Chain A
């Protein structure tokens, strides 16, 4: 029973962290057909900005989180303006944006390295202690992460389902040209989606680093996992991505427990490949649409 609670707790936490950044990726892919390979760096950037604001500027946690998300959104917007927009009309857009964002991600990571150095740092946004559940002490930090993630996901769901901007995003993702013919200004949709995705990445980065510390390269693995989750869910499927993230988080925790941390990713990946052989468009995917 204790093990069950332990594994479930860490699994849900992992899943929640992944879900936040995965949703951003799914949105960007759904709306723009764009694989944002700078996502990992955006994650790291968010963690570091929060660190800077809290540690160097001495400001409280909510300010740190907000600052990180604002910076993340700004970076996302910049990526849209400088990188995506110039290439939108190109027939090889997907390949080009993929490569370009790899480059941007590398630049961002190097900037972090320059500014903060290669030594690992602790994320100050942590809650000490824990609560006893089913005989196991579940750290408050995990619960906080779950709560924040849940709130964020609910927020995104509300945004997509109940606002005019969200409607425009969904329409653009389902049919770009039809959206234009409805009078939707898709340039603005793209900018919003990238900004939102940047903010979500930053938040995810704060959460990840609060558990495993800050390193300039910290974003690479979570980004890869987020992408893998997206693929399993079916690229572009937003609610599917959230569900898949939770499932995979739990699965990862289970595998880690049984086989040890080293092989967790390998086994996870083998499972993912198996799923994709069975369902080439992902578990819930059909085409690239953003569904809600």
Chain B
């Protein structure tokens, strides 16, 4: 059985197991927390593709998520589009935005991409938050074009309240599960497929790879754009699930949390991101009391894992490839560092 088939079967298996959960535990808290896990799982699996497979140093993932969320909310609020339509449209808008960002950034060296995507994310945040001019004036008060500091609320929902009444969250649960399954299968196909080999070739010997027709920019754009679809969809689902979208989606601590999931789980691996997401969310739950030390703890986890366990937990199970101290001369024999090297 190929690795790909095995992984897809595993995904289906996990999905089946998860599908049974609401039948056993139907408390709202557990179900909605797992739904949140689905949302972040969606984001980290896609971000993992960008960071770990395509080797793109992008910090714009949360911004793309936000575009999906805000896009959905705004389409529903201003245009009156039902959420089921707004979500895929918002996802497509996210793809368009990602391609724009990609064109601007991807031709640059890795470090530049990191900084630029961070800066772009920050600018989007500033535009949303600093716009104080009232675009509309609903009864709840002044509402700037992008929602301002308060954000959007009451823009519709997926219809589960009508169908399931007070158990509407179970409907959201299954939607989230379906989305995550689709996203994970997508990731598996990508990671276990020729595309990831192409990226490995580009990392190991860019000259040769490109002479054989593996165009770095093209592949990177593909991955960037495709992963943006699910990321945008995650944002859209976030909007649909919580019914409110505000600038909190831009928070740096969220970015860190998600990054930590990928690092702890194992960047570039198939199961790493989800593993990391599950672990960190569980830890977050358990450590909820410790409150103020969350940020410190998260930062430490990030740093410690990168230093001591760069392949993450999933990476432990992997056959060691080119590990070990190859040379004392800093970043290997390459003088001009190519930071498309992922972990």
Contacts and interface: CB of A to CB of B under 8 A. Distances in A.
Contact of B330 (A29, A186, A269, A272): A186
Nearest to B107: A280
Contacts of B120: 269
A38 B185 CA distance: 36
A79 to B, nearest CB: 10
Nearest to A221: B122
Given A83-B307, A93-B337, A265 B123 contact: yes
Determine the main DSSP class of A at the interface with B.
helix
B329 A176 contact: yes
Contacts of B331: 33, 88, 90-91, 93-94, 176
A237 interface: no
B303 A176 contact: no
Contacts of A90: 310, 331
Interface string A249-292: 00000000000011101100100110011001100000110000
B59 to A, nearest CB: 9
Contacts of B51: 95
B339 A91 contact: no
A103 B115 contact: no
Contacts, number: 174
Contact of A175 (B295, B301, B335): B335
Interface residues of A, number: 60
A277 B341 contact: no
A224 interface: yes
Most A C-beta atoms less than 10 A away, residue of B292, B307, B332, B343: B307
Interface in B103-125: 104-105, 107-112, 114-116, 118-120, 122-123
A64 interface: no
B342 A88 contact: no
B259 A99 contact: yes
Interface string B243-274: 00000000011001001100100000000000
Contacts of A235: 109, 111-112
Contact of B115 (A102, A228, A263): A228
Contacts of B119: 224, 227-228, 269, 272
Interface string A55-72: 000000000000000000
Nearest to A113: B295
A91 B322 contact: yes
A231 B330 contact: no
A95 B341 contact: yes
B302 A102 contact: yes
B341 A92 contact: yes
A119 interface: no
A58 to B, nearest CB: 29
Contact of A35 (B114, B256, B263, B329): B114
B12 interface: no
Given A91-B326, A94-B337, A100 B107 contact: no
Contact of A103 (B111, B131, B302, B333): B302
A150 interface: no
A114 interface: yes
Contacts of A230: 115
B337 A100 contact: no
B343 A288 contact: no
A43 B298 CA distance: 21
Most A C-beta atoms less than 10 A away, residue of B112, B259, B263: B112
B79 interface: no
23 contacts: A32-B330, A33-B331, A33-B337, A82-B307, A83-B303, A89-B330, A89-B332, A91-B332, A93-B330, A107-B295, A107-B296, A110-B296, A175-B335, A224-B118, A228-B119, A231-B116, A262-B130, A263-B127, A265-B122, A269-B120, A277-B104, A280-B112, A287-B336
Given A33-B339, A88-B330, 19 more contacts: A29-B111, A32-B330, A35-B115, A86-B307, A89-B332, A91-B322, A91-B332, A93-B330, A95-B339, A95-B342, A99-B263, A99-B306, A106-B252, A107-B299, A107-B300, A111-B296, A177-B329, A231-B115, A235-B111
Cβ-closest 10 pairs across A and B: A103-B302, A106-B299, A103-B303, A107-B299, A262-B130, A94-B339, A110-B295, A33-B337, A103-B299, A110-B296
Interface of A: 29, 32-33, 35, 82-83, 86-107, 109-111, 113-114, 175-177, 180, 186, 220-221, 224, 227-228, 230-231, 235, 261-263, 265-266, 269, 272-273, 276-277, 280-281, 287-288
